[in-house]
């Protein structure tokens, strides 16, 4: 008898900042968003899309939230990650 392992659903996060797209995956929404690594200074309005299987949600992030997610101290990043992950109830 063969056992098939069930794959846990993974989340895929995509952020588009100033026309450039960055993608990352993770086991949770927070992990997927924290794995995003935009190059250079992440400024400006952006669109964050989180996908789980066939379900997908997109949100527009204002510049100060994007700045907190990618450019400031680790403490501010954790707070911003928690706030952003609550936006996505997937």
Residue 26 belongs to some domain of the structure: yes
Q: Considering the entire predicted model, what is its pTM? A: 0.80
Residue 5 belongs to some domain of the structure: no
pLDDT band at residue 48 using 50, 70 and 90 as cut-offs: very high
pLDDT tens digit string along 11-42? 999 999 888 899 999 998 888 988 888 877 67
Domain of residue 64, residue span: 11-87
Residue 36 belongs to some domain of the structure: yes
Q: What is the number of structural domains in the chain? A: 1
Residue 25 belongs to some domain of the structure: yes
Distances (CA, A) of 75 to 12, 15, 40, 44, 87: 24, 21, 20, 21, 19
């Amino acid at each position: 008898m063969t056992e098939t392992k069930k794959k846990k659903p993974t989340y895929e996060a995509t952020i588009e900042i100033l026309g450039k797209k960055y993608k990352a995956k993770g086991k949770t929404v927070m992990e997927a968003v924290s794995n995003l690594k935009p190059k250079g200074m992440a400024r400006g309005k952006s669109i964050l899309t989180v996908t789980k299987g066939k379900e997908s949600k997109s949100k527009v992030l204002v510049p100060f939230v994007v700045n907190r997610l990618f450019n400031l101290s680790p403490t501010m990043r954790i707070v911003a990650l928690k706030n952003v992950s609550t936006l996505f109830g997937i």
